[in-house]
Structure 1
C-alpha cells in the first residue's frame, strides 16, 4: 500500500510539472515558475523521504541505500527537499502579496527573472544549510568492516555549536515559514477586502454591475489559489509546528520510540501529514484552476490519440 501511495504521489507531481510547464493554464510565467518549482521540490521529498528512506527501510533492508555514507547523504537530501518545498511556498505567498498589495513594486518584483533567481537561491541555500546533516550520523552496525545504517552521534548533544545549529534549523523550518505565511495571508486578505469595497462603491456610483468586473474576477481567482496552497500548508504542518514548540518548552525529544506516549503519536501524525502536503498542491490545481483541468485532460488523452494515429 505504501509503495502504491508513493507511486501515485510521484505521478501526481509529475503530471503537475508537465501540465504547468506547457504554459497553457492561464497563469503568468512568474506564477508558473513558482508552481513548477514547488512541484519539483514536492517530488524530491517523495523520492528521498518516502521511497528511498521509508519504503526502503520497510521492504529492502541492507540495500545499497543503507550503506552509511549513502544513508547520510539521503537524510541530508530529505531535509534539503523539505526546506525547498516549504520556503518556495513562503516565497510564492510573498510574490502574491507583492502583486496584490504593493502596486508600485509589482512591476519590478513579480517577473519571470525574479522568480528564477528566488527559486535558484532557495534550492542553493537549502542544500548548503543542510550540509551539516550529512556529518551528524554514524554507522549503526559494522558487517565485514562495512558500515550500515545511520544513527545520530550521541556526542553531538553536548556540543553547544550543534545545539545552536539544531535551534537555528527548526526555527528556519517550520517556525519562520509558518508565521510568515499566516502574516502574509492576513495582510493580503485585508488589502483585497478593502480594495474590493472601494471598487464596489465606485462601480455603484457609475451604475455598473459587479459581476461584469474582470478585475475583481481575477482577484478572486488569485486569492482562491493563494489561500488553497498556503492554507493547505498551514493545516498539514500544524501538528509538526506544535510538536516543534513542545520540544523547546516541554523538554521532549524528536524520534520518540514509545508509541503509547501522546507526544510520540503527535510526532508521527505530524510526519504523516507533512508527507501528505507533498502531493496536495496537484489536487488544489485541479479544483481551483479550470484551465489546469483542461490541460490535464489533454495530456492524459494524448497517448490514446497517438495510438489512433499510428497504423496497426
Structure 2
C-alpha cells in the first residue's frame, strides 16, 4: 500500500508541476484551482492513506492510538478531505461562470479571487472539522491501545456531527455540481443548435470555431473533474451514514464477516482513489496537458540517458 501511495502522490506532484511550470492553455484562475486541488489531494493521501491506513497495517499500536493524536487525527483527515471536496465545487462554479457569464467572469475568474477563495476553503475546512476532536477516544482493550469512536458521546452530538459532515462533504457538493453541470450541458446543447448566419464576416467564421473548441475543452475538463469526484464518493457517503447513525455504530470495524465493513472500506478506497486520479483524467481528456506531460517524460529520459 505504501508503494502505491507514493506512486499516486507522485502523480499529484507531477500534475502540480506541469500545470505550474508548463503552458497548458489554462486561465490563471483555473491554474490556481487545479494546483490547489493537487495539494489538497496530496494531503488526503498523506493524512488518511499513509499516516492512518498504512501505519495501522504495519503497526499494532499506531502513534495515533494514543492521546492527543487519537482526537486530533480526524481534524486533519476531514479538514484535508473537505478542502479537496470544496475545491472541486468552487472550480465547477468558476468554470460555469467563465463559460456562460462575461460580466461576472471579469470579477470572479481572476487570480486574486481564486487565491482568496482557496485560502478560505483550506481555513474553514479545518475549522469545521474541529468538532471531530470529541468523536474519538483512546482505550486500552485486550492488552492493546486503540482509537475508537467515543461510545460515551451523546447520540445527538454524533448524529449532528455525521449529518453536518455528510451535508458539507457530499449532499451540498453533489447538488451544486449536478445543477451546474446540468445547466452547462443544457446551454452547450442549445448553443450547438445556433448556426452562424450568412451575413457574418469571414473573420467571424474563422474565430467562432476556435471559441467553440475552447469552450468544449473547458466543458470536458469541468465535467471530468466534477463527475468523477461524485461517482467515486457516493459509496462512502452512504456507508458512513449507515455506520454512524444506526446500531452498527458500536460494531467492530475490523470484523470483515460484517458486510457493512466490506462496503465501507470499498467506499473509502473509491473515495480516496479520487485524490490520485486527476492527473490521469487530465492526460486522457486534455490534449495540451498530454503534450506537456509527454514533453516532460522525454526531457527526463534524455537527462537519464546522458547521465548513464
Please give the range of the TM-score, normalised by the shorter of the 2 chains: 0.7 to 0.9
State the 1:8 CA deviation. 1.2
State the 1:294 CA deviation. 2.4
Whether the 8 Å contact between 2:71 and 2:136 is mirrored in structure 1 is yes
Of 269, 273, 277, the residue aligned with 1:276 is 273
Of 284, 287, 296, the residue aligned with 2:284 is 287
Counterpart of 1:202 in structure 2 is: 196
**TM-score, structure 1 length as denominator?**
0.86
Structure 2, unmatched stretches of 5+, are none
Counterpart of 2:11 in structure 1 is: 12
Counterpart of 2:168 in structure 1 is: 172
Q: Deviations over 1:58-85 (max 9, x none)?
A: 1133343443322432332111111011
Q: Does 1:3 align with 2:2?
A: yes
Pairwise mapping of residues 1-312 of structure 1 onto structure 2 (< 5 A)? 2-141=1-140, 148-158=145-155, 160-198=156-194, 201-203=195-197, 206=200, 213-244=209-240, 246=242, 251=246, 253=248, 257=253, 259-306=256-303
State the 1:246 CA deviation. 5.0
Whether the 8 Å contact between 2:162 and 2:241 is mirrored in structure 1 is no
Structure 1, unmatched stretches of 5+, are none
| Structure 2 CA distance for partners of 1:63 and 1:272, relative to 1, 3 Å | closer
State the 1:133 CA deviation. 1.4
| Structure 2 CA distance for partners of 1:23 and 1:253, relative to 1, 3 Å | farther
State the 1:41 CA deviation. 0.7
Whether the 8 Å contact between 1:76 and 1:130 is mirrored in structure 2 is yes
Whether the 8 Å contact between 2:70 and 2:138 is mirrored in structure 1 is no
| Structure 2 CA distance for partners of 1:212 and 1:110, relative to 1, 3 Å | closer
State the 1:17 CA deviation. 1.0
